[in-house]
Amino acid sequence: MMKQFLYITAALLGPALGPLQAQKKQPAKLPVSKQLAVPVATVVARAEAQYAAYLRRYPDSTQHPRSTENDGRLVRTTSRNWTSGFFAGNLWYLARLSGQPQWPRRAAAFTETLDAEKNVTTTHDLGFILNNSYGQGYAVTKNPKYRAVLLQAAATLAKRFNPKVGAIRSWDHHAEVWSYPVIVDNLLNLELLFAASRLSGDTAYAHIAKTHAATDLKYRFRPDFSTYHVLNFDPATGKLLTAVTHQGFADNSCWARGQAWAIYGYTMVYRETKDPKFLAAAQHAADYFLAQTAKIPDRIPYWDFNAPDIPKAPRDASAAAAAASGLLELSKYAPPKNNYYAAATAILASLSAPQYLAAAGTNNFFLLKHSTGNKPANSEIDVPLVYADYYFLEALWRYQNYAQLTLN
């Protein structure tokens, strides 16, 4: 009955607004049941089967699975790629979710081949690469060598901070177009800096992270609380020059994964700072995301909320998974009776169904189908992405441990 209601409501609402049309702020109430159950055990068993099969076929831990080529071939990367830390993280989450003794050993193998990245100053993605691997490994093992890697990585990342801008520089490439780009994704790399301050007692890292988040917050949102992808600053004066997109449909459209990064990132910054302005930011980002996905029967976003070909546009399960993980945490901090927990469980229930969850032995041994990496570059469209699996497993872990969930 409820399902029928959801489908009828969605049909009446019709497709999302076309590109560049004004987006009216909508109430974020979702007609979803709080009782919606997520089949954690089924997904964990599938993850064990998929990753065991992957490791039998591809045991080399210097190669990290990322995605699938257009012709169906598996894409693996070296440690230098921004996605290299996710597979190790997936194995750490699988270790925690399954309790099976073989997974920490497999996770450690894929973690420890990332060691050299701790000194690399040419990327802002050291959080994605090393916090999601060594950080998750440290949470499980308390291995002091992992702690040392995290501290070195934070010291390296901090070198990319420009006090005039008040932010860490994202990309070095396209310097002719962007003089000092700061992308929404970068919020997630701040978690490494907060962790380093906690581990070392040196508050300088947390100070940089908080300053970056405050700068980001000044310019990230449009009046309707959709997000820009790229903020471009003048590094000499700190002035914002342009707010544009790189992976979204248009400069004034809303790239779904960017909005998910904002939910997750601002929630994490609130966890670490307890500054209410970051909680408000996370709620605004979430409310926009949920108003948009309320129009979609299964709640899994199109790659951009303003994609011109909705409802035929490709989905992005990675945006759904990152949002679900962030929403579960946000539901703990937002005022009682918020709808973030219900929204997260609705997303997770969809991702756990056969439309998105791969059958054993398929999908190049990734868990989730139907993610989109970079549509404007015609790259990774409607494919598995390793980071979709990462945030999915993390969300399942948060869901399973919800009653006692504390994240620092």
Count of residues that bind ligand GLY according to CB under 6 A = 5
Between 151 and 230, name the residue whose CB sits nearer to ligand GLY: 230
The yes-or-no answer on residue 125 being catalytic is yes
Nearer to ligand GLY among residue 181 and residue 373 (C-beta): 373
* Smaller CB separation from ligand GLY, 38 or 393: 393
Among the listed residues 172, 185, 275, 309, the single catalytic one is: 185
Binding mask 62-101 for ligand GLY (x = CB under 6 A): --------------------x-------------------
- The identity of residue 62, as a single letter, is T
**β-strands 161-162, 371-374: how paired?**
unpaired
User: What would the 3-class secondary structure string for 161-211 be?
Assistant: EECCCCEECCCCCCCCCCCCEEECCHHHHHHHHHHHHHHHCCCHHHHHHHH
Coil vs helix vs strand at 382: strand
| 216 lies in the binding site for ligand GLY (CB under 6 A) | no
Residues in the chain: 408
Cβ distance to ligand GLY smaller for residue 108 or 230: 230
- Choose, from 60, 115, 125, 172, the residue flagged as catalytic: 125
Q: Helices in 14-133 by DSSP H: which ranges?
A: 40-57, 84-98, 102-112, 126
Would you count residue 272 as binding ligand GLY (CB under 6 A)? Answer: no
287 is catalytic: no
Check binding of 185 to ligand GLY (CB under 6 A).
Answer: yes
**What's the closest the beta carbon of residue 276 comes to ligand GLY, in angstroms?**
27
Distances (CA, A) of 203 to 142, 149, 193, 246, 325: 21, 18, 9, 33, 27
Q: Counting contacts by CB under 6 A, is residue 257 touching ligand GLY?
A: yes
Question: By C-alpha distance, which of 186, 112, 121, 122 is closest to 149?
Answer: 112
Residue 41 structure tokens? 């055990």
- Cβ 92 vs Cβ 107: under 8 Å: yes
Q: Are 395 and 325 in contact (CB under 8 A)?
A: yes
Burial of 361 (0-12, 13-18, 19+ CB in 10 A): exposed
Nearest distance in Å: CB 6, ligand GLY: 28
Residue of 326, 309, 340, 197 whose CA lies nearest to 270: 326
Could you give the angle at the alpha carbon of 263 between the alpha carbons of 258 and 267, nearest 5°? 140
Tell the smallest beta-carbon distance from residue 42 to ligand GLY (Å). 28
111 vs 247, beta carbon nearer ligand GLY: 247
Binding of residue 284 to ligand GLY (CB under 6 A): no
Locus of tokens 């060594």: 134
Nearer to ligand GLY, 288 or 341 (CB): 288
Residue with CB nearest ligand GLY? 185
Residues 355-374, one symbol each (x = binds ligand GLY by CB under 6 A, - = not), give ------------------x-
CB of 247 vs ligand GLY, minimal distance in Å: 6
Considering beta carbons, is residue 82 or 103 the nearer one to ligand GLY? 82
CA distance 349 to 345: 6
CB of 171 to ligand GLY, least distance (A): 10
DSSP letter at 134? I
Rounded to whole angstroms, what are the CA distances from 151 to 109, 116, 148, 370?
A: 20, 13, 5, 35
The verdict on 315 binding ligand GLY (CB under 6 A) reads no
Q: At closest approach, how far in Å is the CB of 172 from ligand GLY?
A: 15
CB of 257 to ligand GLY, least distance (A): 5
- Residues forming the active site: 125, 185
What is the binding site for ligand GLY (CB under 6 A)?
A: 82, 185, 247, 257, 373
